[in-house]
Amino acid sequence: MTILEVCIDSYEKGVQACLNGAKRLELCSDLALEGFTPSEELIEEFMRDVLRRSDDNEVIPIHVMIRPIKRDSNILDTFCYDSNDLQIMKEQIRMCRKLIDLHAVEKSRFKIEGFVIGCIKKENGGIIIDTEILKELCETIQENNGHFNITFHKAFDLLTHPAESLDILLQFGINRILTSLCFAYTDLKGKITAALESNNSQVDQFLKHLKEINQHQTVMTLLIGGGVRECNQLSIINFMNQNAIIPFELHSSTPFLTIN
């Protein structure tokens, strides 16, 4: 069965999402603004939900968004960071790691297994990955023998050359990319359905290169987002099955039961 990750910004939404088909949660705040780092209190609310012997529920993985609050009018600038932003993000990651250690002896119904990050910058008229910031974030996530999944979030869709950017992400141990496959947009309003209906050479090039990577190197999973709903999941699954070498999952703000 296809895995569905649901992005949520409250404990109540998280519990409801798990009851309605979510197999993993992306935890953030302010979903309407593409999601920022959740508060310590919200993370603790999930960590304190102890798995009782009578529970039939499986342990639900959580991936925590790390994105400092920047309310610029231009969405692109909210993913461009300076040294102050970097320190804030590193502190947020360490706060999460501290909570994980604090609740390690408890059998929580939820378990933080990964982090969601993304950092870009403008250069030579294009948009590229900010490798200096990315390196420090990944090192902070994995410090002290961390073994966490790392997702590069939908800022990926803003990159000028998405296919070439795959090689960069591999160098830093990124194992998931959240994308709508709409790379021509200047914002994050791209919908996966638009990508499925278009003949876009950039998408073809991206998928071709991702197939090559997954044939020879560590597996990189596509997390398909951007208007994913129960009514269009079959079209998405059929499209991705044409690229069988590429593992994929679905990402939505709306929980639903996935099909095989």
| Cα–Cα dist 231/209, whole Å | 29
| Cα–Cα dist 71/62, whole Å | 25
**In which domain, by residue range, is 113 found?**
4-252
26 burial type by CB count under 10 A (0-12 exposed, 13-18 middle, 19+ buried): buried
Note whether residue 195 is domain-resident: yes
Note whether residue 69 is domain-resident: yes
| Cα–Cα dist 54/198, whole Å | 49
pLDDT band at 216 (very low <50, low <70, confident <90, very high): confident
**Does residue 54 carry a pLDDT above 50?**
no
Virtual CA dihedral for 218, 226, 58, 64, nearest 10 degrees? 70
Note whether residue 23 is domain-resident: yes
166-185 exposure pattern, b = at least 16 Cβ within 10 A, e = fewer: bebbeebebbbbbbbbbbee
- pLDDT per residue as tens digits for the range 83-128: 999 999 999 999 999 999 988 777 888 999 999 999 999 999 899 9
| Cα–Cα dist 216/60, whole Å | 30
- The DSSP bridge partners found for residue 50 are 108
Predicted structure pTM score:
0.94
Note whether residue 257 is domain-resident: no
Note whether residue 259 is domain-resident: no
Q: Mean of the pLDDT values across residues 17-27?
A: 95
Which token pair is 104?
């390690």
Note whether residue 53 is domain-resident: yes
pLDDT band at 186 (very low <50, low <70, confident <90, very high): confident
Q: Mean of the pLDDT values across residues 243-253?
A: 88
Note whether residue 260 is domain-resident: no
Taking alpha carbons only, the member of 37, 31, 126, 38 closest to residue 76 is 126
Which token pair is 17?
């999402």
Note whether residue 37 is domain-resident: yes
**Could you give the number of structural domains in the chain?**
1
215-252 exposure pattern, b = at least 16 Cβ within 10 A, e = fewer: eeeeebbbbbbbbbebeebeebbebbeebeebbbbbbb
Taking alpha carbons only, the member of 42, 23, 46 closest to residue 31 is 42
Supply the CATH number for residue 157's domain.
3.20.20.380
Average pLDDT score, the chain: 91
| Cα–Cα dist 33/119, whole Å | 16
